[in-house]
Chains A and B, each alone.
Chain A
Amino acid sequence: MSATLSASDRGSAPPARGAARLPARDRLIQFALAAIVVLLIATALVPVLYQSVLAAPIYDLTRHFTLGNYLRFAKSQELHAAIANSFILATVSTLVGTAIGVLFAVVVARTNMPGRRIASGAMLLPLYVSHLILSVGWFIMYGPAGYITELVRGALGFVPWNLYTIVGMSALAGISSAPLTFILCIGSLRLLDPSMEDAARSVGAPPLRILWSVTLPIIRPALVYSMMLNFIGGLEMLSIPLIFGRPARLQFFTSLLYSFAGTGTVPDYGLIGAAVVFFLLVITVFVIVQGMLLRKAARFTAIRGKASRPKPFDLGRWRVPVAAAVYIGLLFAFALPLAGLILRAFVEFLTPLMSPWQLLTWDNFTLIFSSPTYVRSIRNSIVIAAFGGAIATVLIALVTVVIHRSDFPWRRQLEFIALYPRAIPGIIAGLGVLWAVLWIPFLSPLLGTIWILIIAFTMLDLPVGYGALSPVLLQIDADLDRSARSVGADWWTTCRRVVLPIAKTGLFSAYVLLFLAFFKEYAAATFLYAHGSEIIGISMLEFWGIGEVGPAAALGVIQFAVTCVFILAAQKWLGVKLHA
C-alpha cells in the first residue's frame, strides 16, 4: 500500500498540517471518481446484458435465466437483415467518408489552394451540427421530391440518383462522416515534417506517389482512428436510416430499435437484449482491433501543439480548378442543404415551380412557439447542454486528472473504461438506461426528468471530453504539480489549486465541445424522454413522423441558430478556439 503512515512516523511530522490531516482523502476521491465512471457505463450496459439472458422483461419479477434469447436471435431473419444493412451502411460510408475527408485534409493542409481557411471552417461546421439537421436538409434538396431533384428532373427528364437505396444512403452517411476524418487527419498533416515529403520529391517521386507512399502512411494513426470512429458512427447512425430508410422500406438496426421507442415498450425484451449484446460485441471487437493497430502510436498527435507551418505544395495551374472542386463539393454537400432547410422553415411548401417569395410564412415557427411542448423541448435542450455540459466537464476533468496526474493504481483501466462509450450507440445507451430504471426501483424517480438524459449523455460523451482534456493535461509540465506536492499540498489540493486552474482554457474548450455534443444528441433520448423532458431532436422526429416537414425544418433552424450563436459567443467571451 502506498501512502500509509504508521502512527509513530506521524508523531514527529513537521507542520505540513493540511497534508497530514487526511492521508486517505486523495485515494477516496480517486476511487469515488472511478466508481462514478464505472457506474455510468454499467447503467447502460449491465441491464442489456442481464436482459439478454432473461426469459421475461427485466422489470417482471417472474424473470428467470435462459439462453433461449440468443437461440431466437440466431434464427431471427428480420434482425439479421437489419444488422446486415447497418454493416453495409457503416462499411460504405466509412470508405466514402475517409476518402473525402482525407482528400480535403490534404488539399487544405498541404497545398496552396486559395481560400483554405474558409474551406476548413466550412468542413468543420457539420461536426457541431446534429446529423438530423443535415439529413432533413438533404431530404429537402435531394429527396425523391426534393428541390434540386425536381430541378434536375425538369432539365434532364430523369434523376441520376436515388437516395432511397442503401448505396445512396451510404453515400450521404459518408459525407456526414467526412468532417470527422478531416479534423483528425488535418492535425497530423500539419504537424508532419515537410522535409519527409521534400525528401521523396528529391528522389524523383511524383506528387500523387508521395501522397500515397509517404504522407498517408505517416498519418496512419489518425487515419485508422478516424476510420474506426466513422465505422462505429455508421453503425449507430439513426438519422439517415429514419429519414431515408423508412420510406424506402430499408430497415437498419437503429431504426428497428427506434420503431419500439415511440411505443415506450419493446415487443420482445429478451430477443432485443440478445441482439443488442451481439451488436455491442462486434463494435467492441473493432475498438480493440483498432487499439492494437495503434498500440504505440501517439494518440493525440491530431490535436497537439503547433509545429512550424510546412511549405505547401504548389498546385500551379491546378490551383483554381482544385479550389472550384472543393467549393462546389462543400456547396452541394452542406451549404445548399442547410440553405434548403432554412428556406423550407419559412415557406408553406418548397417547389421549383413557384417562387418561394409567394409562399413565405411564419406558420411553422408560430406552430412551435404556440405549443408549450415544443417550447419546452427547446428550453430542455439548452438547459441540458448548458447545465449538463458543465457537470460533465467537471466530472471528466477530474477523471482525466486521475488518469494522467495521480498514482491511482487502476488509472490505465479507468482510461479504457472512460473511452469505452465510443462503442455504445446512442440509442442503445438510451435503451440500457431505460431498462436500468425499470429494473432498479429506486431509480424510477429519474424517469421522465431531464436528469436521466444528462446521465445518459454524460456517459456517451465521456470520450469526447476525455479526448479534449487529455492533451491539455499532458501539456502541463509535471514539475508544476510535483512542486505543489513537495511544498506540502496533497493530491486533491494540487488538483484544485494548481492543475485545473492552469488548464482553465482547456476546460472552457472541453465545455464548449460538450455543450455542442449534448445539444445535438437525440438518439439516446428516444427511449428516455417523457412528457416534460422532450428535447429538440425528439420534437423534430415527431413532426417528421407525421409528415410535417415545415415545423421540423423550423426546429432544425432554431437548433442551428443556437449552435452558431453559442460557437460565436464561446469564441468571443470564453476565448475558445475550436479546431481548425
Chain B
Amino acid sequence: MPRLSVQNLSKRFGEVRALDGISFDVAEGELVTLLGPSGCGKSTTLFAIAGLDRPTSGRITLDERVFFDAERGIVVPPEARNCGLVFQSYALWPHMTVRENVTFPLKIRGARTRAAAVEVDRVLELVEMLPFADRHPHELSGGQQQRVALARTLVYRPGLLLLDEPLSNLDAKLRERTRGWLKELQSRLGLTTIFVTHDQTEALSLSDRIIVLDGGRIMQIGTPQEIYRDPATPFIADFIGGSNFLTGTVQALVDGQAHVSLADGQILSVAASPALAPGQRITVSIRPQSVHLVSAAAADTLASAGRNANLLRGRIVQREFLGPCYQYSVSIADRLVRFEAAEDLASNDATLAVQAESCTVFAFEVGK
C-alpha cells in the first residue's frame, strides 16, 4: 500500500507545461529522490505535494487522504497537510530564536508550553543544536541553520518529509557529512521522504528510489543501481554518471554481441539486446570508467593475436592534468570521448579499449 500517491499531475502556464503527467507512488518509510536539471519540474512537484503550488490537473493522496484532486475541486491548504518541508533557503524566521522557530509549529497545534518545551529540546538534541537554542538564525552557520530547519519540521512528526535541495547551500565537505547524517536520521526515524536535488551523487547515495525528471516529465523510475546501470535514455546516462556517445549502424549480431560500424569505419562491439537488428542506426553510451588507454605496442599485440579487444583509434584533442590522473578528450568518428587515465601519453593518437558489456545502446535520435 503506497503512502503517497501522485497521479497524472500537470501544470501549465499558457502553452508551457511545467509538469506534464507526473505519476508515482512512495511507500512507507521510503526515501525517493526527484532528480533532474533546473527547470525540470522537480521543485514544482514537491511544492504541489506541500500545497504551496497549485497544479492544473491531477491528484495527490497521502494514505486515504486526498490532498489535491483537480476533478473534484479539492485543494487542501498547505497548513492542513501536515507535511514537513525543508526549504533550500532554510526559511528560518529571522525575528525568532532557534527555540522559538522550532516551538512555533507546536504552538500552532495548541500544545501546552511545558510539553512543547520538552519536545523541542528532544528534537534540538536530535539534530545536535540544543546548545544553540537561544541564538537567532543570523548567528548560525549554513549547516546549523539547515539542522534547525530540519528540527522545525521534525518536531511535529510530519506525515511526509519534503526536502528541497537541502544540501545545496553547504560547502562540499559539509555536504558530504550532512548527507550521511541525514540518511541515517531518516532511516532511524522511518520517515517517508521526498528529496529534491539536481546532484546525481546525492541522489545515488541517499535514495531508495530515484525519479528522473526532464522537461516536466518522468524519464525513469528505479533504484540507484538500476538508473546507473540501465539508464532509459541517453539524457539519463549523461546526467547520471556522465557518458560518452558514439553513433553508428548495426552491422552484424554475433555471439550475443552487436558489431556497430561508426562513421569513420571503425567497428565497436557492444552487448546485443533483442531489440537490435542489422542496419539499425543506434547511439552507444560509454561510461568514462569503461574506457582505458592501450599503448601502441599492446594494441599491436592484441590486433595481431586476432582477438577482439574492442579497440578504437582516435586523435587526442585535449589533455588536462587533474592531479591523480589526466583527463583526455579523444575524437573518434567526429565525436568526443572523455575519460580519465593515469598515463601521460605523449603522442597525438590514442588507442582505447572499451568494455563491450558496459555499453548501453539506444535507438538513434536525430540531434543527439
A residues lining the B interface (CB < 8 Å): 1-6, 9-10, 12-20, 23, 26, 477, 479-480, 482-491, 493, 497-498, 501-502, 504
Contact = CB atoms under 8 A, between A and B. Distances in A.
A485 B104 contact: no
B93 A502 contact: yes
Interface residues of B, number: 41
A2 B79 contact: no
Contacts of B72: 6
A12 B95 contact: no
A2 B109 contact: no
Interface string B98-136: 000000110011100000000000000000000000000
A485 B76 contact: no
Given A17-B109, A483-B149, 9 more contacts: A3-B77, A4-B75, A5-B74, A14-B159, A18-B110, A477-B89, A480-B93, A487-B85, A487-B104
Given A5-B74, A12-B64, A12-B65, A485 B91 contact: no
Contacts of B93: 480, 483-484, 498, 501-502
Interface of B: 50-52, 54, 63-66, 72-85, 87-89, 91-95, 104-105, 108-110, 149, 152-153, 156, 159, 162
Contact of B80 (A13, A477, A479, A497): A13
B76 A9 contact: yes
21 contacts: A2-B75, A3-B75, A6-B72, A9-B66, A9-B74, A12-B65, A15-B156, A16-B109, A19-B79, A19-B80, A482-B78, A483-B87, A483-B92, A485-B79, A486-B50, A486-B85, A488-B109, A488-B156, A491-B77, A501-B93, A504-B95
Most chain B CB within 10 A, of A3, A14, A15, A485, is at A14
Contacts of B84: 486-487
A484 B80 CA distance: 12
Given A23-B77, A487-B152, A487-B156, A17 B110 contact: yes
A497 B108 CA distance: 10
Contacts of B91: 477, 479-480, 482-483
Contacts of B73: 1, 4
Contact of A479 (B64, B78, B87, B108): B87
9 closest cross-chain pairs (CB), A and B: A19-B79, A479-B91, A14-B82, A483-B91, A487-B105, A486-B85, A485-B78, A18-B108, A488-B108
Chief secondary structure at chain B's binding surface? loop
A146 B106 CA distance: 70
A19 B82 CA distance: 10
A542 B154 CA distance: 67
Contact of A15 (B52, B75, B109): B109
Given A482-B52, A486-B50, A488-B156, A13 B108 contact: no
A19 B89 contact: no
B89 A489 contact: no
Given A23-B77, A479-B87, A486-B52, A15 B82 contact: yes
A490 to B, nearest CB: 5
Contacts of A501: 93, 95
Contacts of A20: 79-80
B65 A489 contact: no
B104 A497 contact: yes
Nearest to A20: B80
A490 B77 contact: yes
A477 B64 CA distance: 34
A19 B64 CA distance: 20
Nearest to B153: A487
Contacts of B66: 6, 9
